[in-house]
Every structure is written in C-alpha cells, then in structure tokens.
A and B are shown apart, each in its own frame.
Chain A
Amino acid sequence: MAVSTASPTGSFGPPPPTTAGAIVVEGLRKRYGSDGPEAVKGIDFSVAQGEIFGLLGPNGAGKTTTIGVITTRVRPTGGRVLVDGLDVTQDQVAVKLRLAIVPQRPNLDRSLSALENLTFHAAYFGFSRKARRERALELLEQVGLAGREDDRVDQYSGGMAQRLIIARALIHRPQILILDEPTTGLDPQSRLFLWDTMRDLQSRGTTLILTTHDMAEADQLCDRIAIVDHGEVIALDTPRGLRKLLPSEQGVEVVVVAAGDAGTGTGDPLEAVRSTPGVERADVVAEAEGRTTVRAYGAVDAGDLVDRLKRAGLELVELRQLEGSLEDVFVHLTGRELR
C-alpha cells in the first residue's frame, strides 16, 4: 500500500513546510460561552514535522476542543496555536490549506457517490476538473475502493466509509493529517490498514496527530504522546518514557532453574534476588517444572543480579525488563472514575 502525497505536477496541494514545528500550541485556553466550563485550561505542546503525535485522554478531557482550535473550527479564549508558523486565528485559509482531518464521526455527503465526495472536496481545493477526477480515482484505488466509485456512500459499510474519508483527507496532499479517534468501531482489518497508511504517510514526511482511547494503538504508532485530562496536559513523553511513570512497575523479571552443579550455592533464588543492590521488593510469582519466576522491583542492576544468581547455583533461563502497559499508565495518571 502506498499513498502518494508528492505532487506530480507541483501545481496542487499546499506549499512545502516552512518551519520545523508543524504545530505549536502555547497556553491554549477555551471557555465555551461567557460563563461556561473551561474545556481547555492552558495546554502547551509542539509537534515536529514528520512526527506521529498522540493526544490521549478520557472523554471530555479537552482533546476534541484542542483539535477544533488547530483546525480553525474553535476560537481559543487564550493562548495561541501555530500551524506551520501560521496563527490559526489570523491565517485561517492558509492553515486550512495545510491540514486535513479524519473526523470522529463520518461526515461524508450521503447524497453523493464516493467519487463525487472526493471530486467535490478537490474542487474546493482548486483542482481542475481533470486533475480532481484523476486524483480521486488514484486514491480510491489506494484505499481499496476501486470499482465502487459510483456507489452512493450511504450503501458503504463502516470500514469502507472510513477508507473513503481517509482518501478524501489525502486529496489535497496535506502537510498535517489529524485523526480524531479514527479506529473506534472498526474491524481489525480496517484498523491494520489505517495503521499501515499512517506509517506510510509518516515515511513520506506527513505530520500526524492522533487522538484515541486505544492505548495499544497509541503505543504502536506514536513517537510522542500527550496525556490530557481536565483540560491540561498531565504527561508528555515517548510511549516508553510514559511507561516509566508507573512507580511500582519498574524492575526485572527472571526465570531460573537449579544448575546441575549446584556447588556451594544456596539454591534460593528469592534470597539471591533480594540481596542485589537496588531491589526494593521481590516476589516469587510462579514455580513450575523446576523453574522459578521472580520479580524484582526497583532500579535493579541486571548484570549484578545475574552474577548473584549464578553464585547461588542457579541457571538463568529468561530475564526481561518489567514495563507496565500504556493503559496502566493512563489509569495511573487519570484515575478510575467514570466520566
């Protein structure tokens, strides 16, 4: 699957990026109405060109408002947002030329065919009649909808509609593609297709912003993730860096068996592990077929641990770093209460 974003003629699509920061959000605030709730209470982050950036947060955290400001649909009450160096409240048309969005809910024109949905969109972006048809057919082919171009979109399945929306978003070769909870309700095939498409776009230099509840998705795809809650960024790091925020989940897990030549060792793995510097707590989590699995929590020196196990007359079968899932991090940071 290859989605072309390069313009063959150079005559359509937005200009190439001019700044290193695709999106800069500074002190963004948004209050709906004069005395309504403040949905966003001072958010800061920036997204580099060519990055896949995740915005994670519970429902009502302020993700959609933030996306709305970036796409010029929501007027901020404070702070500023730059897209490729352009202020979203002042250069709306230039900003819109550089962006595309795959919305949370399908918003295809249901009275039109698939092809017409794409050519209408292209017309708004200034493509000539011939160019818009060519570009639309090319993208329909790429998203696996060739031969279905004349179907009315109200006959499309959820997955097909999603692919058509992606094709529509890519028509004008955006520098920045924003996906607002794109995989909600998709089957695994459609989700994998979307992930492949996102990686492919990134390899061609497109910047992607993804909002999602799906932690596995964010973990797989995103270079960096901002976790947003109650209108604020509460954590911003790489997926790996975020996992380190789980205090209890740092450590190692070892699987050992008693060595054939036990020699002078005690043969007690738990004791060997506990004697290692940096281990705050250690537990035996499994014992089966002569193998013992021990988890050691804390900033453990793995090399030292291995030496001590060997001296205790134990043979190391497996050693792995303990890492919590992103979901654990998310719940750890945002709490368990329902929104």
Chain B
Amino acid sequence: MTVRREPGGFLAQALLQPIFFLFIFGRVLPEIGQAQGSYGNLLLPGVMALTAITVSLQNVALPLVIEFSFTKEIEDRLLAPLPAWAVGVEKIVHAALRGIFSAFVLLPIAALVLPDGLQLGGANWPALIGVILGGAIAGGCVGLVMGTIVPANKINIAFAVILTPLLFTGATFYPWESLDSLRWFQVVTLLNPLTYVSEGARAAIGTGEHMATWAIPLGIVGSIAVFGTVGLLGFRRRAID
C-alpha cells in the first residue's frame, strides 16, 4: 500500500542506495581511472539482486516488528479465516512484489547512469525474472526470521549487524569465481543467499563469468527452504501464545 500512498518515500527507501552504487562504482570510478569501464556490466546484476533481497527483507521485517509490538494491526489479520502461517506467507509475497519491482526499475536507471548503457543483448529474460523472483522471496524469508526473532527494541541493532555483512558478502561487487584466491572468504559467501542471486542474475544477463549454473537454483531454493521454515515457525510462535 505504501507504494501507492507514498511512492516517493518507497522509491527513496528502495532505490537511493542502489542508484549510488551504480553511479559511484559504475560511473565515477571508471571515469577517474580507478576501475575498468566495463565494471558497470558486472555490477548491475549484483545491484539488482541486492535490491530485490534487501527491499523484500526490510518490507517484511520492519512492519512485522512494529505490528507485533506496537500497532497490533496483525491481530486483525490473524483472526481472518486462514491458518496463522498463511498470514506469514502473505507478508513475504507482498514484500517480494516490492523487491522485484524495485530491482527491475533499476534497468532504465542503469541505462542512464552507466557509461556503456545497458548490455542486455544476450539476456535470458525468463531466467532473470526467475532469479530475481527467487531472490525477493528469499529476502522476504530472511525478513520473516528477523521480524519474528528480534525484539522490537533491538531491531535497529539487528539491521546494522545483518544488513552490512549481507551487502558485502553477496558477490554484488565481484564475481564469485574470482574469489578463489581468497578461499576462506569464497566459502563464507556461500552462506549468503545474495551470492546465488547475484551470480544468477549475472548468468541470466550474460555479462561475465559466474558460478556453476546448477549451484544457482540450488542455493536460492535452499535459502528459501531454510529461512522460510525458520521464519514461519517463528511467526507461528509469535502469532499463537
């Protein structure tokens, strides 16, 4: 609903950070000779993946914490003739739609910001949509875990502690394969759902190297399964005393 009520607020929250990533890393650094001119092509899929996950995550976690603790809006939803877990699924779906929308809005913006414009000639669109959709759902599941486990008075700390590592360990700014010289870090990044989404988007757009194709759906589906299960169990625990 906020998209319609406060489109400016929603877009600023969702898009300001990715636009600055694209602008600084994709445009400014190559311009001043600190990065290759083609870096933007590698960056764009990563930033789309990052946006899908973080927008979806925040749109589940933050409202959930507020609704469970302060406004209690969720109580009316929990009295709807649905099983309690369905209300949790609905939160994820709602937030995932926002995440997908935000990720794809970046395409026309990238066309303006990046020095080479968009290089989508070799893109596999169904695969790209599937990867971003999967990422947005995974992000929503992580958000459900946070929103149900973290107490309201600690949510700002939780965001800082979780979002920053998520941001930088998710193969957004570098291709995962190239990490083989930093093996321990390469292994750590496999714990981050964003890694699979970034690599998946890179594979779908067809710009540059990416991890083995079989690992991508496995990682995304696995993340949804793990975080979804924990999140829905947590949701049920909060919904029913």
Of B1, B83, B241, most buried by chain A (CB within 10 Å of CB) is B241
A74 to B84: give the CA distance in the assembly, Å.
Answer: 12
Task: Determine whether the beta carbon of B73 is less than 8 Å from that of A74.
Answer: no
**Contact of A107 with B73 at beta-carbon distance under 8 Å, contacts A68-B241, A72-B240, A75-B241 already known:** yes
Size band of the B side of the interface? 20 to 34
The answer to whether B241 touches A107, judged by C-beta atoms less than 8 angstroms apart, is no
User: With A93-B83, A107-B71, A112-B1 known to touch, is A75 a contact of B76 (CB < 8 Å)?
Assistant: no
A7 to chain B, nearest CB (A): 16
With a CB–CB cut-off of 8 A, which chain A residues contact B84?
92
CA distance A124 to B72 in the complex (A): 17
Interface of A is mostly: loop
In the bound complex, residues from chain A placing their C-beta under 8 Å from that of B77 are 124
Closest to B240 in A: A75
When distances are taken between beta carbons in the complex, the residues of chain B under 8 Å from A71 are 79
Q: Say whether, besides A103-B75, A121-B76, A111 and B2 are in contact (CB < 8 Å).
A: yes
B82 within 8 A of A: yes
Q: Complex formed: what's the CA distance from A94 to B83 in Å? A: 10
Closest Cβ–Cβ distance, residue A37 to chain B (whole Å): 13
Residues from 90 to 136 in A contacting B, C-beta threshold 8 Å: 92-94, 96-97, 99-101, 103, 105, 107-112, 116, 121, 124-126
Residues of chain B lying within 8 A (CB to CB) of residue A93? 81-83
Is A73 part of the contact surface with B, judged by Cβ < 8 Å?
Answer: yes
B76–A96 contact, CB under 8 A?
A: no
- List, sorted by A's number, 29 A–B pairs whose CB atoms are closer than 8 Å: A32-B241, A71-B79, A73-B75, A73-B239, A73-B240, A73-B241, A74-B241, A92-B83, A92-B84, A93-B81, A93-B82, A94-B81, A96-B81, A97-B81, A103-B75, A105-B72, A107-B71, A107-B72, A107-B73, A107-B75, A107-B76, A108-B73, A110-B73, A111-B2, A111-B5, A124-B82, A125-B81, A126-B81, A168-B76
Which 7 residue pairs are nearest across A and B when measured between Cβ atoms? A124-B80, A107-B72, A97-B81, A74-B241, A96-B81, A93-B81, A109-B73
Which A residues lie at the B interface, using CB under 8 A?
Answer: 32, 68, 71-75, 92-94, 96-97, 99-101, 103, 105, 107-112, 116, 121, 124-126, 168
